[in-house]
Chains A and B, each alone.
Chain A
Amino acid sequence: MTPIKIVLLYQSLLGIYGDRGNAMVLRKRLQWRDIDAEIVEIEPGDAVPADGAVYLFGGGEDAAQISAVKGLKADGHIFEAVEAGAVVFAVCAGFQIVGNTFTVGEHDEVIEGLGLIDVDTRRGTERAVGEILSHWIKPDGTESLITGFENHGGFTTLGSAATPLARVEIGIGNANDGTEGAVQGKVIGSYPHGPSLARNPELADHLLTLALDRELDPLPMPELDELRRQRIAAIRKAGRS
């Protein structure tokens, strides 16, 4: 069987917050289950494979966002892949560029995004920087806490085709409106950046389940449980520092 492809897009542009971690986590969680997996790193100018199982977008600064959109539109394969049912997980600035529009620069120039998910981003009333805690309703109806670090100046509003990923307990999230992230089909956007999947293994496994279209065995990791316990307690104790 050919390895499951995890496509890590444009790390030189979209990777300022340890976002590579999301790819490393997904690959390892497949390998630990004896499922062959590889990370395909794509830089601007490289052809994007259309047969990836998961496509990952990370965070970047304004000019990098514009370059990334330009490169991916010129290549075009990301649209084929999404059409064919690939999973997209986009964090931070990556969440903004997979949407319809976002703004850059001091004069809030509006830039067309990739339009993979029905959201629009505009300059927020404050910069969101700090740990965030939110409640994600899993497909089975139960709740899972998502912990991470957000750092963004844009506020994102959802159009009718997208639904929020989670409900914010502490932090800013999409627009300080109690919602965090967005889901539309198999495209998921979220603000906690970088290694969000390292701290949130259920979300990581959810992406893999969507990509493989089958249930996965649990992977016990006591030190990860302890890390989650610590971070959730720390966020709740500090509120928003």
Chain B
Amino acid sequence: MSELSALATPAALTVTDRIRLSVAIAVGNAAAVTSRLAGKGSGASVRGQILTRLVPDAFPLLLQGRRVLSVSGTNGKTTTTHLLAAAIRAGLGVDATRLVTNADGANLHYGIASALSQARKADIAVLETDERVVSDMIAHARPEILVLLNFSRDQLDRHHEIKALGRAWRQALESAGPAGPTIIANACDPLVTWSAGTAARVVWVETDTVWHADGALCPACGEILQRIPADGRDRWDCPGCELSQPEATYQVAGAAITVPDGRRVTPNLRVPGSFNISNAACALAAAVEFGVDVDTALAGMHTVTAPAGRFATASFGGVAARLLLAKNPAGWAEALPLAQSDPVVLAIDSVAADGKDVSWLWDVDYEQLAGRTVICTGPRAHDLAVRLRYAGVDHRIEHDLVSAISSAGVDHVDTIATYTPFQALLKTAGLR
């Protein structure tokens, strides 16, 4: 357990490094302003790219002198990062400016460097971290806390073996040894459990996970995992080796979270969905480990409404659209039950950020939309239309994203989009 008021060990940068960084940040900031004036978004990404081009080691340098909490996983890391940052800010009270976070969800090396460059004096960093950056984060930032939410198939054209990433995490944690981070890990996810297996210390959270399709085999020995019913829910267990679902100290049941002292608390969240209760449980565990008390942390999380635009409502041509992001089958399994409007707008793209392969459309249970009308939009609207034809779901195609919403013929329409159309809608709505 950490002390919230403890200060970070100051960075030991050379004068040369300080000057290099300051110059690069100034150049990056100027480019960000230009980009913003040109209407190309916040400019954070341009700043990060210039910064890391001018100072290739900006990422490790800017991490120095901070106490770091890192959040990773396939789904929910942006929301969880916002929840955790809000919980810690609440704990810090008047000292909340000590905290810096990459609130825009830019979670690769340059995105993190960009966020850190804007708060040189902040000594607590809550950082959403892409799965591919976790190993570097462990090595360079020596994070105090690392939250591992879940690990599922996502953009398999890039990550053809998710297990290889888990192996890299294990190695990084092993190298970090006893000085490594305290892991807050989802005990229901076999791959997360295995990946955290080399950590010096783990706080387990039993979440309410709906997606099991990526956890069929034991990541340690390859045997088929068994699911054993216990207390009305399944626990996973490997018949071939020692790996099994760990006992958790935080447990999610419905809308409530059981905390280590046995108390059941109900986070009064303003982000929807049962999966966000699980995200909140992980954020809560991380905040408590960092020295925030449970009630203060929950009060902080209550302030989070639309993390990086997720779940935001925006108007397009007089139609109010609630914007939901879904990036992979597990994300769609969470988002679809939230989208209750008729019609519902679904936007699909397949550039690199969305995953070039749209085969995942067939792993999503679109059949549950039967009886309602889907407006298909985005560059891969036709792939979705064919999927819906086979699912027996009524649909029409509207190529233009904004028209898909404004032509919906109702006051309010839920909209689920993959990454690129989601960002495009936020930008059109002035939300980024």
Q: Interface residues, chain A, CB within 8 Å of chain B?
A: 11-13, 15-21, 24-25, 28, 44-45, 61, 63-64, 66-67, 127, 129-131, 149, 151, 153, 193-195, 198-199, 221, 223-224, 226-227, 230, 241
**Contact of A223 with B389 at beta-carbon distance under 8 Å, contacts A129-B157, A151-B160 already known:** yes
Q: Shortest distance in angstroms between A41's beta carbon and chain B's nearest beta carbon?
A: 13
Contact B386 A16 (CB under 8 A): no
Please determine whether B359 and A149 come into contact, CB atoms closer than 8 angstroms.
yes
Rounded to whole angstroms, the CA-CA distance of A198 and B362 in the bound complex is 9
Interface string of B186-215 (1 = CB under 8 A from A): 000000000000000000000000000110
Q: How far is the CB of A23 from chain B (nearest CB, A)?
A: 10
Given A18-B363, A24-B362, A61-B161, A227 and B383 contact (CB-CB distance below 8 Å): yes
Query: What interface size band does chain B fall in?
Result: 20 to 34
Contact B359 A195 (CB under 8 A): yes
- B385 at the A interface (CB under 8 A): yes
Alpha-carbon gap, A212 to B390, bound state (A): 21
The verdict on A44 contacting B224 (CB below 8 Å), with A198-B390, A227-B382 known, is yes
Cα A63 to Cα B359 in complex, Å, equals 22
Q: B222 near A17 (CB under 8 angstroms)?
A: no
Does the CB pair A12–B216 fall under 8 Å? yes
Select one of A18, A67, A129, A241 contacting B222, CB under 8 A. A67
Q: Which residues of A contact B224 (CB under 8 A)?
A: 12-13, 44-45, 67
Given A13-B216, A63-B222, A153-B160: A224 and B359 interface contact (C-beta under 8 Å): no
Known: A11-B213, A16-B156, A129-B157. 5 other contacts (CB 8 A): A28-B390, A44-B224, A223-B386, A224-B386, A226-B382
Of residues B357, B360, B397, which shows the largest number of chain A Cβ atoms within 10 Å of its Cβ? B357
Tell yes or no: B387 within 8 A of A by CB.
yes
Q: Nearest 3 CB-CB pairs, A to B? A: A21-B362, A18-B362, A63-B222
Query: Quick one: which of B213, B356, B362 contacts A12, CB cutoff 8 A?
Result: B213
Contact assessment for B153 and A16 in the assembled complex, using a CB-CB cutoff below 8 Å: yes
Q: Is the pair B359, A193 in contact by a Cβ cutoff of 8 Å?
A: yes
Is B163 in contact with chain A by the CB < 8 A criterion?
yes
A14 CB to closest chain B CB (Å) equals: 10
Bound-state CA distance A130–B387 (Å) is 20
